[in-house]
Amino acid sequence: MNTHFVNRRLAHLLGYAGLAPFVLLTLGAWVVHSDWLADFIRGQLAYGIAILSFLGGIHWGAVMMSGELTMDQSRKALIWSVIPALIAWFSTMMGGFGFAMLMAGFIAAYQADKRLFAWYRFEPWVLQLRLKLTAVVVVMLMLTVIAANVKG
């Protein structure tokens, strides 16, 4: 069996499975009793922080595995690799704006990926998958914020 096909299929499967907590926490924020709302909001923020940090780690690993990057490309990619985690951490101190910070972080991570994935020679489908996942994540974060304001 073609390893590339298996990797592509598994990446899609796991990427979409990783959306489940975002979707479930958003749905929960809309349907649970208001006494539980804060727990769903905290859960969504925590999961968003973890996933945004993970997105930076992709670059750390890609730089470590690539022997074809220039020193300048390696330096830029490694510096970027820690930025998503810093944005995620900073979102914990933003109070009600933490979700906005996370949404901006996910959008910034996708924008960085558009440039950096070409350096790593990732297949085009990887960036297409990242776009779909990012769009769903940002919408789920937005809907959670709306639920918090409507129900809270």
Residue 97 parent element (H or E): none
pTM: 0.93
What digits encode the pLDDT tens for the residues 69-121? 999 999 999 999 999 999 999 999 998 899 999 999 999 999 999 999 999 99
Residue 132 makes CB contacts below 8 A (sequence gap 6+) with none
Looking at residues 6-18, what average pLDDT do you find? 93
For the chain, percent of residues with pLDDT exceeding 90: 91
